[in-house]
Amino acid sequence: MLESKREMPVYLDNNATTAVRPEVLAAMTPYFLDGYGNASSIHWFGQQAKAAIDDARREVSALIGAEPSEIVFLSGGTEADNLAIAGIVESQKPKGRHIVTSRIEHPAVLNTCKHLEKQGFDVTFLPVDADGLLTADAVQRAIRSDTILISIMHANNEIGTIQPVDEIGRVARDAGVCFHSDGVQAAGKIPVDVRALGVDLYSLSSHKIHGPKGVGALFVGKGTPLTPLVRGGGHERNRRAGTENVAGIVGFGCAARLAREDLADAMLRTGELRDRMEARLQAEIPDLRINARNAPRLPNTSNIMVDYAEGEGMVISLDLKGIAVSTGSACSSGSMEPSHVLTAIGKTPGEGFGSLRISLSVLTTDDEVDRLVETLPGIVERLRQLSPHYRK
């Protein structure tokens, strides 16, 4: 059972997950209660479900400029990343054993690549600069005659850096190497056109854009040689077996449509809110630094660092006041586990201690940001006063 919600909670952790929009839930409900058929069935119930999935496929493909037939529905961003990487590697391994990726990928990509390393594949984990950026040149230099896959995320979940995916796409095409991009944090937050980006595969998640959890999609460009991971019936054009999560897919489709319709407004609004929030926090908190500030950044994402205060302490203190954010680093099992992203942009574990990620959405209100801006400075000051190192 859900504990009763705190009064007027402030939710600023939208890169972790988002609220399902009421319109999305309303679109989903009939497919639990009435149109609950199996989309493979030939009767009325099945055909209702099939038509709903087709509609959702059009909406999701429209969000990223793809053809509906290039969208494979599956369980979420993690499965999309797994299918893209393992599916290409499986089909391309006769041609080579080398993969190019970056050090700041989501664990769904990083750990899939590390698993393949253990299987004898060679993986190049490209470094990034101090703002989390990597260049198409660096990707080009990493490509070898036996490279079979490039996987570079579009936008980073922790610091928001947007990679030059279009330039990397050209490099990949020139080299004739399959190119996957994890677009889980980008799609619905910035314009995405898979043709302009030149990607062969692109991962999407529903719950990052106000859709339900447990559903996502992989864009698989026409002619991309992908071996399925989940075998069974012929669902999703033989690319992902299993009875479709009809209501979930419907919700994803609705969320994708709303995200596409609201995109320009949402970018402007969250970007302005974020910039104002950062300016006010910097004015209120001495020695506050903003990560990835000099790179193209997601408009909704802010990653800040303060010294002499620790991230989990700030998160818990904010939570006790009803404000939800997250931290990149947490100490556990006697070891600091600094975020691999903050480490990759050159932060020491000590700096990583004091990091906070604040992520907005189209539903974020001015009042929510105000409450954070009014609350955080006092928390930082309290924690700094507790520190034996702080002298001010």
Partner 1 sequence: MTYSDKLLDYFENPRCVGELEDADATAEVHNPVCGDTLKLWVRVADGKVADARFKAQGCPAAIATSSFATEMLIGQDLDSARRITREQIADALGGLPASKIHCSVLASDAIRAALDGLR
Q: Which helix (H) or strand (E) holds 87?
A: helix 77-92
Tokens at 41, concatenated: 């069935």
Which residue in this structure is represented by tokens 């990759």? 344
The answer to whether 325 touches 12, Cβ cutoff 8 Å, is: yes
Q: Rounded CA gap, 122 and 100, in Å?
A: 9
Is 331 one of the catalytic residues?
A: yes
Pick between residue 264 and residue 386 the one whose CB is nearest to partner 1.
Answer: 386
CB atoms within 10 A of CB 291: 28
Name the residue with tokens 């600069």. 129
Smallest distance from the beta carbon of 371 to partner 1, in angstroms? 18
Q: Which is nearer to partner 1, 43 or 389 (CB)?
A: 389
Q: How far is the CB of 180 from partner 1 (least distance, A)?
A: 33
CA distance 223 to 221: 6
Q: Which is nearer to partner 1, 20 or 314 (CB)?
A: 314
Binding positions for partner 1, rule: CB under 8 A: 308-310, 312-313, 316-317, 320, 330-336, 349-350, 353, 383, 385-390
Indicate the residue among 234 and 334 with the shorter CB distance to partner 1: 334
Please give the Cα distance from 214 to 164 (Å, whole number): 29
CA dihedral 281, 344, 331, 13 (to 10 degrees): 50
Please give the structure tokens belonging to residue 228.
């399925």
DSSP 8-state secondary structure symbol assigned to residue 61? H
Report the catalytic residues. 331
